[in-house]
Amino acid sequence: MTNTSHLSTVYREKFALVADLYHLTMAYGFWKNGLQDRPSVFQLYYRRNPFGNPYAIATGLGLAIDYLQQFRFTVEDIHYLGSLNGADGKPLFDIGFLNYLQRLEFKCDVYAIPEGTAVFPNQPLIRVEGPLLQAQIIESALLNLINFSTLIATKAARVVQAAPGDQILEFGLRRAQGLDGALTASRAAYIGGCHATSNLLAGKYYRIPVRGTHAHSWVMSYGDELKSYRGFASAMPNNCIFLVDTYDTISGIKNAIEVGKELRTTGHDLIGIRLDSGDLGALSKIARQMLDEAGFNNTAILASDCLDENSIKKLKNEGAPINIWGVGTELITGGTQAALGGVYKLAAIQDNDGAWEYRIKKSEDLYKMSNPGIHQVRRYYNAAGIPQADVLFELGKQEPEQELIEMHNGKASPLPSPAPFEDLLVPIFKTGALVYTVPELHQVRERSIQQQLLFKDAEQDFIHGLDRYLYDLKQRFAQKN
Amino acid sequence: MTNTSHLSTVYREKFALVADLYHLTMAYGFWKNGLQDRPSVFQLYYRRNPFGNPYAIATGLGLAIDYLQQFRFTVEDIHYLGSLNGADGKPLFDIGFLNYLQRLEFKCDVYAIPEGTAVFPNQPLIRVEGPLLQAQIIESALLNLINFSTLIATKAARVVQAAPGDQILEFGLRRAQGLDGALTASRAAYIGGCHATSNLLAGKYYRIPVRGTHAHSWVMSYGDELKSYRGFASAMPNNCIFLVDTYDTISGIKNAIEVGKELRTTGHDLIGIRLDSGDLGALSKIARQMLDEAGFNNTAILASDCLDENSIKKLKNEGAPINIWGVGTELITGGTQAALGGVYKLAAIQDNDGAWEYRIKKSEDLYKMSNPGIHQVRRYYNAAGIPQADVLFELGKQEPEQELIEMHNGKASPLPSPAPFEDLLVPIFKTGALVYTVPELHQVRERSIQQQLLFKDAEQDFIHGLDRYLYDLKQRFAQKN
């Protein structure tokens, strides 16, 4: 078990069949036409930052690595594929192809931007180079794993930034999209900067700290709130955060304080109270005052109730003295933006003579049109180590050329020079073998938090786009028929 | 393997740890206070229909049954729980409790509304009766499984109803929330009425029909669209639906027709073309005319591109001659409503003398306040078999009383009488043993489609609410302190 992936520990089997039917029919077409091993390059990128955030936090690579390491068609998979028929009722795939699939091993080169990195639209988060069939067939699994994780890590970063210095607890399990939706989101939310999760399975697999309070049902099972707090305190004197709104919030706070005093006589303390409904701003102020007056100045106030970064910001602006935020539904699903529209596009393919041909998907909108060629992203820093610019450039050029053109406004700027830089895409697999040291989850989280700080400092001045060569190349492709 | 569940086939292990930390701390509290076996009743329900739909399609029970059958703490789970500490750095749980958990078997009675049933706010989709600790600890897993599946099946029903008679293909894998998010959603979308999925794993596990076309990368890999269609046709003449918008849609249709003519010379046909961008209404009309003029009157037009029920309805209203709809992101995530806010509330608990005490969670809003007591839902039909009313009533009363009060408007109506009726909640587990014949997935889907037809006929006349007794009981509870 690694700390950064769970597919192989959670799931019973290999996942080559995490694919759309058309990947298999295309694979069959490539194989029938002798194109299966044609060297090709695919790039995975997204077109718009989620939630209107200035960047996204690239996340999911750990899962993608695990998936690729496990890539293999099982005997059951092959039987299933053999059972599929075409429009004429005849088998879709012939036996030679099924035998080929059963022997298929993943042999591509993979480059990727490390998890936890702040990234921008049109930058390849993953670049896959290898035999056409293999590079194509992994599309949906990679998109599934990267899209969702990147979405949730970015959402988490927004939530964490809304309450600097406070604790953010991810409470989303019950509203997540499937059991694995919850597990994947807990991992991504932690990378984005959350401090803990309520999800025990995520705690077990990823060693993410787990936190929680108790449910209304605890109080309801006693019928008497004070007795219920006493029952909790006698069982777990070292874990008392009381939910105070089951019947009446003010009475709940009074009861919590009463049991808090009793806790102190046994050498423990009231860790916190939790507000889960009503006017959280007003109630937290009342609660703070009541707690302080009773000498519980260190008792935390935890709030929950359909929170997201906007409602948290609003409460912070009101001066709500809340220290800990439990964020569920909006964080675990992305809320009103429930998907990152990442795509995986063929960028280049070798011709019969072994020369690379660039390919694009055309669109009436130049911004939406894919960028031709095989790309690297170079990030420039100023002397203080603050990011200045990201340039997408054609890998064959070795170096970015002259100017940076911002795609969203067409503005050209000189490339920073001389300036320290790093190339963001690093080797992950070489001919199907892992050549990357997968970081521990806490390291990924630290990188993400560090990146958020860097890009807070970079602010308005940071620019990203294509170098002059790639921009001109794209224009030429757009005009070609 | 059953056709209606995948947890035990897909996942490697038991899932008792699919829980929030607070379920385990409450369980510990119950155990320490000798309350673990106190008979209690929990009910799972939601408060608002998703997407403004007149009802929701209850879905996920098959998964919940699978989860409950597998319920068991593993040795690893116990070790993990033993490693958790409280605020003072001392273990949260003592060894006696961990031993208790390791031996714990699920022994509750479970009642539920069968999958595929149209349901309404405040109706218990699941009622759990049994030892307090056990009935509490399964909360988040049940909510996770039922919330998401019900959301997506309801979304699917809306999409299917937007295009009566057309084929709806679920294409969401790449935008789903985790691998299992996709699998769970494919299952729910099929129950909601979708005709097929692109997701091969869902095809394999659930035997959901799989459908697909090809990607832009197929065309891009050839560079020449006509050649690429020919390549596809030579490999799979029985599976030709050509994606026509890689470069220019009109040229794409022409090329598809040309290869369609060639297919006919080999005894095959052009099954369809696919539009994936641009003005789908205008382009589909042009495509239909071009296809018809070329004699391809039976060639289908498939459309995709961020579709949902609203855009499909709009296209239908414009008279767009589209026969097959590929729906991805919006269907697989729920779109702007990415979660159903289902809750799981303690309804009743026995006192020391074995008498049932009802419990509620109070709220300033009577509508949001939980309903006291142990409930059944009785559905009344008219002589033609059309649903007339759903009445939530207290199970101890055996029969609903006098009147039905609609919660959203307070209106009272006499109960339909004499009228045929059925009680929606049926026994699923008895003392932890499955007593329910789990229907095959296709049966669940048929039920859902049948229910959608029934409620289309019921239309405005259908009412749902509480019986007079329960309504008065709730009022009394609301006034009590």
pLDDT given at position A2: 45
Tokens of B173: 């894998």
What's the confidence (pLDDT) of residue A3?
44
Higher pLDDT, B289 or B70: B289
pLDDT digits (tens, 9 = 90+) for B27-51: 999 999 999 999 999 999 999 999 9
How is the beta sheet containing B109-112 ordered, strand by strand? B356-358, B343-350, B39-45, B126-131, B109-112, B426-430, B433-434
B355: left (phi over 0), alpha (psi -120 to 50) or beta: beta
Closest CA relative to residue A183, chosen from A170, A193, A192, A167 = A170
Q: β-strand B167-170 against B196-197: which pairing, if any?
A: parallel
Distance from CA of A194 to the nearest CA of B (A): 16
CB contact under 8 A, B215 and A76: no
Within 13 Å, how many C-alpha atoms sit on residue B196's CB side?
Answer: 15
Would you tell me which residues 69-88 of chain A have a C-beta closer than 8 angstroms to some C-beta of chain B? Answer: 76-77, 80-81, 84, 86-88
Residues of A in contact with B139 (CB under 8 A): 174, 215
Nearest CA to CA, how far is B284 from chain A (Å)? 18
**B130 chain-A contacts, CB cut-off 8 A:** none
Cβ distance of A26 and B362 shorter than 8 Å: no
Q: Tens digit of pLDDT for each residue in A392-446?
A: 999 888 889 889 999 888 899 999 888 899 999 999 999 999 999 999 999 999 9
Token pair, residue B442, equals 């296709």
Q: Which amino acid is at B208?
A: I
Summarize the confidence of residues B90-100 as an average pLDDT: 96
What 3-state DSSP class applies to A353? coil
The reported pLDDT for the residue numbered B51 is: 96
* Arithmetic mean of pLDDT, A212-216: 93
Q: B265 versus A457: which is more confidently predicted?
A: B265
| A6 contacts A186 by C-beta, under 8 angstroms | no
For residues A446 and A279, give the distance between their C-alpha atoms in angstroms, rounded to a whole number. Answer: 34
CA distance B187 to chain A (A): 11
Which segments within A187-271 are labelled E, that is strand?
196-197, 241-243
- The DSSP element (H or E) to which B463 belongs, if any, is strand B463-467
Which residues from B are below 8 Å from A213, CB to CB? 22
Q: What is the ipTM of this complex?
A: 0.94
User: How close is the nearest chain B Cα to the Cα of A116, in Å?
Assistant: 18
Tell me what percent of the residues of chain B surpass a pLDDT of 70: 96
DSSP string, A442-454: HHHHHHHHHHHHH
Residues of B in contact with A364 (CB under 8 A): 278
B79 confidence band (pLDDT: 50, 70, 90):
very high
Domains of chain A: 7-152+338-479 (3.20.140.10), 159-333 (3.20.20.70)
Q: Is the pLDDT of residue B2 over 50?
A: no
Using one digit for the tens of pLDDT, what is the confidence trace for B258-303? Answer: 999 999 999 999 999 999 999 999 999 999 999 999 999 999 999 9
Whether pLDDT at A268 is above 70 = yes
CA distance B310 to B316: 10
* Banded model confidence at residue B361, pLDDT cuts 50, 70, 90: confident
Residue pair A226/A251 in contact (Cβ under 8 Å)? The answer is no
pLDDT tens across A334-354, in order? 998 999 999 999 999 999 899
Crossing angle between the packed helical segments A139-162 and A441-458, to the nearest 10 degrees:
60
Chain A 340-399, residues with CB within 8 Å of chain B CB atoms: 340-342, 344-346, 349, 357, 359-364
In whole angstroms, give the CA distance from residue B215 to residue B260. Answer: 18
Which residues of chain A have a CB within 8 Å of the CB of B136?
A: 215, 217
- Indicate the pLDDT class of residue A324, thresholds 50, 70 and 90: very high
Examine the pLDDT at B481 and tell me if it is beyond 70: no
Nearest CA-CA partner of B325 in B341, B339, B309, B343: B309
pLDDT of residue A1: 38
pLDDT digits (tens, 9 = 90+) for B227-245: 999 999 999 999 999 999 9
Cβ of residue A327 closer than 8 Å to a chain B Cβ: no
The answer to whether A363 and A53 have CB atoms below 8 angstroms apart is no
> What is the pLDDT averaged over residues B118-145?
97
- Would you list the DSSP string of A280-346? HHHHHHHHHHHHHHTT-TT-EEEEESS--HHHHHHHHHTT----EEEE-HHHHH-TT------EEEE
Q: Give A204's contacts in chain B (Cβ within 8 Å).
A: 17, 76-77, 80
Distance CA B173, CA A177 (A): 13
Residue B11 binned pLDDT confidence (cut-offs 50, 70, 90): low
Nearest to B22 among A35, A214, A220 (CB): A214
Is B359 in Cβ contact with A221 (below 8 Å)? yes
- From the CA atom positions of chain A, what is the Rg in Å? 26
Residue B367 has pLDDT above 70, yes or no: no
Give pLDDT tens digits for A369-388: 788 899 999 999 999 999 99
Pairing of β B403-405 and β B412-414: antiparallel
Distance between alpha carbon A54 and the CA centroid of its chain, in Å?
Answer: 15
Give the C-alpha distances (Å, rounded to integers) separating B413 from B367, B368, B391.
18, 22, 11
Contact B217 A362 (CB under 8 A): no
Which of B179, B210, B361 minimises the CB distance to A21? B210
Question: How far A66 CA lies from chain B's nearest CA (Å)?
Answer: 13
CB distance B179–A216 less than 8 Å? Answer: no
Confidence of residue A367 (pLDDT cuts 50, 70, 90): low
Q: Which residues of A touch B171 (CB under 8 A)?
A: 20
Is the separation of the CB atoms in A309 and A159 below 8 Å?
yes
Token pair recorded at residue A174: 């019950």
At A143-200, the pLDDT tens digits run 999 999 999 999 999 999 999 999 999 999 999 998 888 999 999 999 999 999 999 9
The answer to whether B126 and B112 are in contact (CB under 8 A) is yes
Q: Where are the alpha helices (DSSP H) in A60-138?
A: 61-70, 75-82, 95-103, 132-137
**Looking at the predicted structure, is the pLDDT value of residue B179 above 90?**
no
A151, A169, A217: best mutation site toward chain B, by most B Cβ within 10 Å?
A: A217
The answer to whether the CB atoms of A239 and B87 lie below 8 A apart is yes
CB B259 within 8 A of CB B318: no
**CA atoms in the 13 A half-sphere facing the CB of A243:** 23
At residue B207 the predicted structure's pLDDT band, cuts being 50, 70 and 90, is very high
A120, pLDDT greater than 60 = yes
Residue B344 has a pLDDT of 96
Q: pLDDT by residue (tens digit) across A30-59? A: 999 999 999 999 999 999 999 999 999 999
User: pLDDT tens, B327-360?
Assistant: 999 999 999 899 999 999 999 999 989 999 998 8
Residue A376 confidence (pLDDT): 97
Nearest CA to B171 out of A22, A45, A27, A336 is that of: A22
A58 near B CB under 8 A: no
What pLDDT is recorded for position A9? Answer: 65
Burial class (CB in 10 A: 0-12, 13-18, 19+), B37: middle
